[in-house]
Homo-oligomer: A and B are copies of this chain.
Amino acid sequence: MVRKCDYMIREQMSQKLKMAEYAQLEPYQFRQLCRDAKHTSHTSGACEKYAQANLIVLPKEYANDFINLCLRNPVPCPLLCETPVGDPFTVDDSRYLQKGFDLRTDFPSYNIYENGELRLTKTDVMDEWSSNHIGFLIGCSHSFEHELCENGLIPRHLTLGRGVPVYKTTKNLDPAGVFINCTYVVSMRPYKPEDVPKVRKITSRFRKTHGEPIHWGYDGAERLGIPDLKRPDFGGQPVIHDNEIPVFWGCGVTPQLVVMQQKEKIRGPVISHTTGAMLTLDITSEHIKRLG
């Protein structure tokens, strides 16, 4: 038991040391690490002054409905940009990505879904991204964590060297085309109740990366239909102190849940990042927070 504990602390320390180093990298350098499969896990704290993005890659016939879904539900699904059909080297808004990138390799790891079921997880999707696929980048709440830290509001999972805890909820998205009866996914960071107004204010400016929290408190968890905070559906294990409450933000894992919830409707493979393992963008957090 003592040994296991020692091992866990060593793991945690080594993860935190690695992240301290990654925090200073330029986004294209960090993308190269992912491309070479030298980093294959979560990216909280990487390239700390830059924004990060979620990924969903859909067969082109679902693109219009998905764009509509994002425009109708910008809090869980803030759409940043998209690729042309079959082209993982280009996005339609160069504010987010400028230097050489390949969306098939530059995330630490990927999920591949078929008929709404997770088929496998890989560190690249060279074989899966077909000439029929369109990739969408969705804003990520990692993008406001540096500013929270600078204001003395360090998210707990960064202190612990873990990914942010992520939960499924019962809150419905407003439907769009084939995407019906979809529900929000949320990320959770614990804070003292007296810090919530400051946390809300800081994150409200990041409209393109989920903005301010959608619920907070244990009653908020109940309204979101989260049955047990100790059991997140994705991401790292939470630690909430007695003098803290959970605070919930819209989360870019939502599109993955959307795909899983449309089992019979979406034909052909769908690709996503794995929870917490994001793409580092060339846009700074300071810049992304000024975008409408």
Chain A residues packing against B (C-beta within 8 Å): 68, 71-72, 74-75, 171-172, 174-177, 200, 204, 207, 211-214, 223, 250, 292
Not counting A75-B174, A177-B212, a sample of 12 additional A-B residue pairs whose C-beta atoms are within 8 angstroms of each other reads A68-B204, A68-B211, A68-B212, A72-B75, A72-B211, A74-B74, A172-B223, A174-B214, A174-B250, A175-B213, A176-B212, A177-B200
Provide the bound-state CA to CA distance between A176 and B214, in Å. Answer: 9
* Beta-carbon contact of B75 and A74 below 8 Å: no
**Chain B contacts for A177, CB-based, 8 A:** 200, 204, 212
Residue of B nearest to A75 (CB): B174
Provide the bound-state CA to CA distance between A174 and B212, in Å. Answer: 9
Provide the bound-state CA to CA distance between A211 and B200, in Å. Answer: 29
**Chain B contacts for A174, CB-based, 8 A:** 75, 211, 214, 250
Residue of B nearest to A65 (CB): B204
Provide the bound-state CA to CA distance between A174 and B74, in Å. Answer: 10
From residue A15, how far is it (CB to closest CB) to chain B in Å?
33
Provide the bound-state CA to CA distance between A122 and B72, in Å. Answer: 34
Q: Which of B74, B172, B176, B204 contacts A171 (CB 8 A)?
A: B172
**Chain B contacts for A72, CB-based, 8 A:** 74-75, 207, 211
From residue A176, how far is it (CB to closest CB) to chain B in Å?
7
